[in-house]
Amino acid sequence: MFNGDSYACAHALQKQGFDVIASCRAQQDVEKLKAEGLHCIQLDLADTNSILSAVETVKAHTGGTLYGLFNNGAYGQPGALEDLPTDALRKQFETNVFGWHTLTQAVIPMMMKNGAGRIVQNSSVLGFVALKYRGAYNASKFAIEGYTDTLRLELENTPIQVSLIEPGPIESRFRANALAAFFDFINLNDSRHEAEYLKQKQRLESETSGNKYTLPSEAIVEPLVHALTASRAKIRYRVTKPTQYMAISKRLLSSRMLDKLLSKGG
């Protein structure tokens, strides 16, 4: 599930001299990136054995040390929470949360051995505010925010720094992946939300987001490079105007006022 911002970041970091080890779930994407000159391995975040095998490959490539981890593999499961079976949430969390934990836990000893390390988690504006019909994704990103804040506290006396990137609308394959997940679990004709689902389907089928504040995939590169190289990385990097606006709104507005604002963006 190699999306646009991961692709842009992998190439940008390599151009800046990093020894990049990219990963993709699909072998065909692995081969594509290899053909473009990137060192790429197969890794499926929903498969513990795949993750641990990938870590062993990384150890062999790096001599058992690793400096940076950029966790960015995720997808969005659309649908009203009342319509989503529990298995849909399990699947969402397996990739968006549990896989990240397995990978993070496996690489921390490598960073300790290296005497320095950076863990950068790509969260979302939906990691601190919620939108309708994105409940499974909201929940997974809220979980990542809490997980990352805890990890940062637990690693504060180590040489490892932990950061969150919180993008808003970014052009990537996210909509296409979400559309596929939509059809996996949602029956449009058997829900009181049918009219809204048709709107969501139309939005996901669009090749572009239609949001005037949407930034290209490359917008993630600068905050990622800073998180990896600054002597004191930021705790949070808020990317795009909507993320910055929502962060301010959450601080200033009451919960009911924020609900009214967020209800307009279903």
In angstroms, the CA 178 to CA 61 distance is 33
Among 137, 197, 213, 245, which one carries the catalytic annotation?
137
Residues 6+ apart with CB under 8 A from 168: 124, 125, 213, 215, 239, 240, 241, 242, 243, 246
Average pLDDT over residues 17-23: 96
**CA atoms of 58 and 113, how far apart (whole Å):** 14
pLDDT range class, residue 1, cuts 50, 70, 90: very low
What is the value of pTM for the model shown? 0.93
Across-strand partners of 22? 40
Task: Determine the 3-state secondary structure of 240 from DSSP.
Answer: coil
219-263 pLDDT, tens digit each = 999 999 999 999 999 999 999 999 999 999 999 999 999 999 999
If one looks up domain 66-263 in CATH, what number appears? Answer: 3.40.50.720
Do residues 65 and 110 lie in contact, with contact meaning Cβ atoms separated by under 8 Å? yes
Active site residue 7: no
